[in-house]
Homo-oligomer: A and B are copies of this chain.
Amino acid sequence: MQLGLIGLGRMGGNMRERLRAAGHEVVGFDQNLAVSDASSLADLAEKLATPRVVWTMVPSGKITEDTIDALAEVLSPGDVIIDGGNSKFTDDAPRAERLAKKGIKYMDVGVSGGVWGKTNGYALMVGGDAETVAHCMPIFEALKPAGEFGFAHAGGPGAGHYAKMVHNGIEYGLMHAYAEGYEILEASELVENVPAVIKSWREGSVVKSWLLDLLDRALDEDPKLAGLKGYADDTGEGRWTVDEAVRLAVPAHVISASLFARFASRQDDSPAMKAVAALRNQFGGHAVKR
């Protein structure tokens, strides 16, 4: 089927390729006109037959809001907008209502898979009504991996982004569990070949996973990870997951600890630890570093 796709960066560009390889007609638009199939949103709308389906794949937050609002100006009643970016789930219901007033349907889709999705397919978590989901199913079929997994209709508006948010929260926890184990192995006097141990777990073990495969891959390239700094950004979903855990009274020690470790990794110095050092010095005369 025909699809408009806005945002042709790392994710959107790969998705266009995967969709075209599956035989779909994709009209892409990007601010970078060099990679764009349309010269403007208006041009994009003109190039698509109604009822149109347009997928946005742009950074979450104001850019997505502005893009969708501008898009709504050039679309027609009966058209569908799908937001596949990492929007916060609380944006979806008001957005869906706003678009519904113009007769435009809305779905939110959480998309997982990173740079590997082009080849392996993307896991898709969809929020929206059943009819609109069914209408767009050929697109989802092309983007998801072959086989029975990789797609869920999670619920109404917001459920797709919510599921993706929790997915990423879990991802933080998984990564940090491996990371702590890796650090213990590295610190151990007994284990002589850490990368070999990691590699051994890739089959037969209880901890085998795609993330473990990637850790092995990273260690193949750099067995001590010597070329990397222990510094990690976070991109919103981890924070929202902790906020949701707090709102819903779910004990989320692991996911929050993973998030906090990323915060700490970005601090040049820790105000909290200054306070601890100050206290130790005050009561015990313990030496401090200045």
Contacts and interface: CB of A to CB of B under 8 A. Distances in A.
Output the residue of A152, A186, A278 with the most chain B CB within 10 A.
A278
A275 B173 CA distance: 13
Chain multiplicity (copies): 4
A123 B212 CA distance: 14
Interface stretch (A39-47, A49-57, A77-85, A279-287): A279-287
Interface residues of A, number: 137
A158 interface: yes
Interface stretch (A23-31, A59-67, A95-103, A255-263): A255-263
A289 B229 contact: yes
Given A256-B256, A257-B257, A153 B184 contact: no
Given A215-B279, A271-B183, A272-B182, A153 B193 contact: yes
Contacts of A246: 239, 242-243, 259
A225 B261 CA distance: 23
A273 B261 contact: yes
A115 interface: yes
Given A112-B205, A204-B144, A230-B271, A170 B181 contact: yes
A207 B159 contact: no
A36 interface: no
A183 to B, nearest CB: 4
Interface in A165-206: 166-188, 190-193, 196-197, 199-206
A176 B279 CA distance: 10
B230 A269 contact: yes
Sort A-B residue pairs by CB-CB distance and give the 4 closest, nearest first.
A173-B177, A209-B209, A230-B273, A152-B200
